[in-house]
Structure 1
Amino acid sequence: MATRANIACLGAGRMGRGIAVAFAYAGHSVTMIDVKARSAEDFARLEADALSEIRKTFSSLSSLGLLTEADVAPLVARVSVVSTSRSEAALSDAGMVFEGVPEVVELKREVLGSASRQVRPDTLIASTTSTILVDDLSGAVEKPRRFLNVHWLNPAYLIPLVEVSPGKATDPAIIDEVKVLLESIGKVPVVCAATPGFIVPRIQALAMNEAARMVEEGVASAEEIDKAIRYGFGFRYAVLGLLEFIDWGGGDILYYASRYLEGALGSDRYRAPEVISRNMQEGKIGLRTGAGFLDYSGLDVDAYRLGRLKAMVELLRHFGLARPPILDR
């Protein structure tokens, strides 16, 4: 695929607009295709609304210092909106196509199937579904070897992470090609199996439900819980991944803490998975034993710890919480 491949988005809604901003910002031409048949007047309103929102988004990025106000117009000019009657020309020129229509299996299959017959044989095709398994859609796509799911986190133009989920028919070389494209626009792709919830939505659903449950139980106010998340939970996991954090403290700590919480709160939702017990039996506790979920063999542990602590200090400075010591004079 060309470094600056033309991008097509099936749908001109929230997801299509976010993807358009991300790619236009990185130098690509983007065409959003309205997949719904409309009158000329209705299409004109949709087009004006989409381009207006994209212009406002770029203006907001200007106010945040990511670009200048003079950059806004040329960036917006890279984005166009076409009606479904003009989709063939737009799709025939696309290096990659992202589907972003509502979460209805039949609608997605219809839109993807039609697009796959209009693009070039080497054009990559991706759904952006957050709920539907890729293999429930791939059967509608011609040459499904070039099809996979690319799940963006909103706002798509800001959040670095993109979850890439291949299907059974996806060619591994296509996965690599998509990762290279995403990295070229400043994204951080991760590959995960085609499973409900992918990675982030599956974890965050548990965390959000537990936060809501604590409000319901009167554990703390919503404000206090959110403060705890910002300055404790989120602070640590901006530097250490969840599994890395298990290794940092030791898998045995999680094992015993989970057993206590399961009993004290009377809920098996705190029960540790079998892999935690298995790692303990195999001596894979984490940093202390040189292996856990991650492999630390040959690692300069002191330098590694110092590097992670340095990143935390930078976050303290970001939050305005890094203070000099108080010394007796």
Structure 2
Amino acid sequence: MARADHDRRPPARPGAARRDRRERFRPRRRARDRPGVTCAVLGTGVMGSDIALSLALGGEEVRVWGRRAAGLEESRARARRNAAFLVVEGLERDESALERITWTTERARALEDVVFACEAVSEELALKHELLGSAEEELGAGAVLVSTTSALSPTRLAEPLTRPERFVVTHYAQPAHLVALVEVVPGERTSPETVAEASSLLERTGKRPAVCADMPGFLWSRLQQAVLRELVHLVARGDVTPETCDTVVKYGYASRLPAMGPFEHADLAGLELMGNQAREIWPDLATAQGPDDGPIGELRARGWTGMAAGRGFYDWRVRDPDAFRLERDREIVRRLKITRGGEVVLKGPEA
């Protein structure tokens, strides 16, 4: 009967369907009967700022700590820009998440009564050791202490800690406020309860936690480096250009990855076919054990270390880095909208 009643509803007014789609683009609101827990983010760089916004968007109260007032102001400005971008793109109704973030240079204040503290400073083991050890002393015994790192072992990171069972890596990927996946990587002494608590908080804030083993690069960075090693190898042989590689990845291989992963594709294609392909291709794949032999080493030797230096594989004095980042974020947003029930509009040449 309910289905029949639904079928008899009058046609929607023009524009109503479009408004409905916009509603589905927005994240689910935090239940008002669940107060946000208090989190701390230690670090005011790109990752720390974006993680803080991600937590606030998920309804948590966040304190951001930094050593310098100037760094805090830069972090605040980045959070404001990103929050405004989300509103413009239709993913948020307003910028109210910013009201749940405070910035401070007082670490003890930042860590007072928090249940989740995320270290987000640069990828230097000694620096992380110093900050994690100091933070643990100021945290309550029940708090979960995490580090966002793309490659450093959680077992090694936990070496200076007296409560390593309450420590786990949560590897956010850039841009952290847009990318859903977060790798959760326990160390040798991390407790199952800590993994569960960290994963639960990530899920509450709209993330998709994936528990990975403590191995170099975890899973995300290993995949990224495996692809990069192979493509650099082909560029060095003169078989392809960086432009061709990026085109094939972005508009070919990556375009179907949201629909099926590598193992699903292998089963779909059939392991006989995949095995035959592997026999032809695997012997020719790159086996380099270091990045310095080949194009990456040559570029580094010339000081062309990437976008920040003005040149890398591309000449970023010609290409606009800010425009590139903006288009990257817009493309991620487009895909987020699709996963939240939106539609793809293919524009023809006259659109």
TM class by smaller structure: 0.7 to 0.9
Q: Give 1:211 shift.
A: 2.6
The whole-number CA distance in structure 2 between the counterparts of 1:167 and 1:3 is: 30
More displaced 10-residue stretch of structure 1: 88-97 or 117-126:
88-97
Residue 28 of structure 1 deviates from its aligned partner by: 1.3
CA distance in 2, matches of 1:266, 1:77: 51
| 1:46 correspondence with 2:46 | no
**Deviation digits for residues 91-123 of structure 1 (CA, Å, limit 9, x no counterpart):** 122110001111111111111111111111100
Residue 291 of structure 1 is matched in structure 2 by none
Task: Report the counterpart of residue 55 of structure 1 in structure 2.
Answer: 80
Q: Give the aligned partner of residue 240 of structure 1.
A: 260
2:65 is matched with which residue? Answer: 33
**Counterpart for residue 143 of structure 1:** 163
Number of residue pairs matched by the alignment: 265
* TM-score in terms of structure 1 length: 0.74
Q: Offset of 1:219 from its aligned partner?
A: 3.3
3-state SS of paired residue (1:31): strand
- Which residue number corresponds to residue 289 of structure 1? none
Q: How large is the Cα RMSD of the aligned pairs?
A: 2.5
Structure 2 residues not aligned, in runs of 5+: 1-33, 289-337
Deviations 1:120-144 (A, max 9, x none): 1100000111121011111212311
Question: 1:180: how far off?
Answer: 1.0
Local SS of the residue matching 1:117: helix
Structure 1 CA distance, aligned partners of 2:286 and 2:249?
22
Matches within 5 A, 1:302-313: none
Decide which moves more: 154-163 or 242-251: 242-251
Change (3 A) 1:268 1:57: closer
* Other-structure match for 1:10: 42
Instruction: Give 1:208 deviation, angstroms.
Output: 2.1
Give the secondary structure class of the aligned counterpart of 2:138.
coil
Alignment of 1:318 with 2:344, yes or no, is yes
What is residue 101 of structure 1 aligned with on the other side?
A: 121
Q: Which amino acid aligns with 2:55?
A: F
Residues 1:210 and 2:265 are matched in the alignment: no
When residues 108 and 121 of structure 1 are mapped into structure 2, their CA distance, relative to the original with a 3 A threshold, is same
Instruction: Give 1:251's aligned amino acid.
Output: L
After alignment, is 150-159 or 138-147 more displaced? 138-147
In structure 2, distance between residues paired with 1:44 and 1:231 = 43
Matched residues in 2 for 1:267 and 1:143: separation?
A: 41
Within 2, Cα distance between the matches of 1:244 and 1:147? 33
**C-alpha distance in structure 1 between counterparts of 2:154 and 2:104, whole Å:** 26
SS at match of 1:164: strand
Q: Aligned to 1:129, which of 146, 149, 154?
A: 149
Structure-to-structure mapping, 1:148-297, within 5 angstroms: 148-263=168-283, 265=284
- The answer to which structure, 1 or 2, has the higher relative contact order (CA under 8 A, 6+ apart) is 2
Q: Hey, what's the Cα distance between the residues in 2 that align with 1:150 and 1:125?
A: 10
For the residue of structure 2 that corresponds to 1:113, the secondary structure is: helix
Amino acid at match of 1:61: L
Q: Which runs of 5+ in 1 are unaligned?
A: 37-42, 270-310, 323-329
Q: 1:232 to 1:321 in 2, by over 3 A?
A: farther
Q: Structure 1 residues 225, 105: closer, same or farther in 2, change over 3 A? A: closer
Tell me if structure 2 keeps the 8 A contact 1:12–1:81. Answer: no
